[in-house]
Structure 1
Amino acid sequence: MEKERGFSDSTIIEQCLKLSEETGEVCKAVRKHTALSIDPTSSTGSVGAELADVLIYVAAIANRAGVDLSDALRAKEQVNEMRVWT
C-alpha cells in the first residue's frame, strides 16, 4: 500500500510524526461525534476513518522496525494479564 501511494521512502521518524497528526484527527472526530465544539472551518472525517488512518501508520512503523504486530499484541496481553488494574 505504501509503495502504491508513494510513501515507502518515508523514514520511521516521519511515520511517527504522521501518526501523531492522525491521532489528533481521531480526537477531533470524537469531539465532532460527541457534539463537542470544533472549528467549523476544519474538515473532519469520521471516527472510523481516522482510526483506520492511525492503524495504517502503526503498521507502517511496525514494518520499518521489524515488529510483527500480531506477536507484539499477544506478548503485551500476556504481560497485561498479570497486571493488577485499579
Structure 2
Amino acid sequence: MRPLPAEARLAEIQRYVTEMETERGFADNTVLEQSLKLGEEYGELCKAIRERSGLAIDPGSATGSVGGELADVLIYLCAIANRFDIDLDEALRDKERRNEARTWFPTTPEPAGTEHPVDFSRNSRAAAGASSAPEPTRNDN
C-alpha cells in the first residue's frame, strides 16, 4: 500500500481506506459493523474532548488524542461511504449547495450569569403543561 499523499483530497483518502481495509482484512466488514465502530470511535473522540477541556473522565480509562480520534472517525466514515459507493467530496459539495439556500440561526453566547433552570426529569414536559407527544424533528439530509 502506498502512503497517503500529504495534500490528499477526500477521494484519495477514500481510495486509501479501501486499500487499507483490504490489506488489514476488514474489507468484508458490513455497513452495520463499520457503523457501530464509527459510533465507538465517536465516543472515544468525545472522551478525548472532555479530557482536553478539563472535564472529568474515568481515571482508570485510557484516552486518545483528539487528532487521533478524529482520524479514526474519518477512516470509518470513508469506509461506510465506500460501501455505498458515495464520493464524499461530491456529497459534501452537493450538501453545501443545498445548505447555501437555507436560513441559519447561529447560537450566540449568553451574558455571564444568565441562568436557565432546566428540569431533566422524565416527566418535566408533562409537568410544565406541555404535550406528551414528542417534538417534531427536521431532517435536512
TM-score after normalising by structure 2: 0.60
Aligned to 1:79: 98
Q: 1:18, 1:25 → 2: CA distance?
A: 11
Higher helix share: 1
Shift in Å, 1:3: 1.2
* 3-state SS in 2 of match to 1:82: coil
Alignment equivalent of 1:53, drawn from 72, 91, 113: 72
- Structure 2 stretches of 5 or more lacking a match? 1-19, 106-141
TM-score after normalising by structure 1: 0.97
Q: Which digits, 9 at most, give the CA deviation of each residue in 1:45-67, with x for residues without a partner?
A: 00000000000000000000010
Shift in Å, 1:72: 0.1
Alignment equivalent of 2:39, drawn from 12, 15, 20: 20
Larger RCO, structure (CA 8 Å, separation 6 or more): 1
